[in-house]
Amino acid sequence: MNAEHANQHDPRIRRAIEELKDLIQRRYPRATFEVAREEDPDGIYLRATVEVGDIDEVVDVVIDRLLELQVEERLPVYVMPVRPLERVLEQLRQPRRKIRPRIELEGVAPAP
């Protein structure tokens, strides 16, 4: 399917989106979803808002099926996991710790 002609109302894309939602909701029952046409790359995006520490965990749930849909079935569908806005704002309010990198040079004695 040509990504330029992708339509979220296309039955194949609707089924794919529903399947991806189901995979995510099995693991994260409180997840919420939005579906929209986006660019870069052009296609239909499933935005999944999930309360999780690491959004890569959400990707792990769908990645195998998502790749099948994109490569084998040639459907321009994408999943974009995000954290709830409240959680992002909370993290931004936390004071940041300054981390000083430790550099060790071979053959140089450490300072006393």
* Residue 64, domain member (yes or no): yes
Domain that holds residue 28: 3-88
Tell whether 60 is covered by a domain. yes
Q: How many domains does the chain have?
A: 1
Name the strands in the sheet holding 32-38, side by side, starting at the edge strand that comes first in the sequence: 32-38, 43-49, 77-82
CATH code: domain of residue 36: 3.30.300
Q: How far is CA 62 from CA 6, 80, 94, in A?
A: 20, 11, 31
Residue by residue, pLDDT tens for the chain (112 residues) are 555 556 778 899 999 999 999 999 999 999 999 999 999 899 999 999 999 988 999 999 999 999 999 999 999 999 999 988 776 566 666 776 666 676 666 766 666 6
- Number of helices (H) and strands (E), helices first, in the chain? 3, 3
